[in-house]
Amino acid sequence: MFASGGGSNLQAILEHFDALGASAPARIALVLSDRKAAGALDRAKARGIPSIWLPRDRASEMLALLQQHAITHIALAGYLRLIPADVVRAYEGRMVNIHPALLPAFGGPGMYGHHVHEAVVASGARTTGPTVHWVSEHYDEGAIIEQAEVPVHPGDTAAQVSARVLEAEHALYPRVVESLCAGRLSRAGTAAESPPPP
């Protein structure tokens, strides 16, 4: 998993795989962060999971690390850097991200963390929620795999919306990551790549 922040999604996935026990399709073998102080790295260390601070995003260095740790799939959760193109290509169909809004709305460069929820509240949207999507070479543009809707109530603050969306992320992401690692997700089967209606 790649993460720049607190790592609550990492925690949710770890707990989900724990609960699956022997039927878990994978284990978290590496946590990589561009931020030395990321809580995600601490959570990994506490579980004895290899954790690496990689402040540069050179594709060759990243690919070498991934190979060294025999990484088969990648889940991004709050990772704030663009993934180098060579890494995107190497993990085509094996790398997903979670975004805290209903893409294609409220996505793209600059749309991360509290910025997303502030924009949602300012827009007057009545619903929001996380999107899990394939990772492409552009921010938040890969085909959508699954979304979950949560309400935005009148008078909600961005912080209230953020907490509600995060709870939905923790229900959605572990399930999608499980499917990914179990080989149950196919790029062709995602909504954005289905053939157009006749």
Q: Which residues pair with residue 146 across a beta bridge? A: 132
Nearer to ligand GRF, 110 or 196 (CB): 110
Q: Is 99 a catalytic residue?
A: yes
**Neighbouring residues of 15: CB distance < 8 A, sequence distance ≥ 6:** 174
Task: Summarize as ranges the residues that interact with ligand GRF (CB under 6 A).
Answer: 3, 5-9, 40, 77-78, 98-100, 130, 166, 169
CB of 170 to ligand GRF, least distance (A): 8
CB of 197 to ligand GRF, least distance (A): 30
Nearer to ligand GRF, 37 or 64 (CB): 37
**What are the phi and psi torsion angles at 69 (to 5°)?**
-95, 10
Report the C-alpha gap between 193 and 170 in whole angstroms: 26
In the bound state, the residue with its beta carbon closest to ligand GRF is 78
**Residue 16: how many other CB atoms lie within 10 Å:** 17
Nearer to ligand GRF, 181 or 183 (CB): 181
Q: Which of 73, 99, 117, 170 is catalytic?
A: 99
Specify the 3-state DSSP secondary structure of 68. helix
Q: What is the full DSSP assignment across 129-188?
A: --EEEE--SSTT-SPEEEE--EE--TT--HHHHHHHHHHHHHHHHHHHHHHHHTT---GG
CB of 177 to ligand GRF, least distance (A): 12
Nearer to ligand GRF, 1 or 87 (CB): 1
CB of 64 to ligand GRF, least distance (A): 25
Handedness of CA 48, 54, 55, 57 (dihedral sign): negative
Active site residues: 99
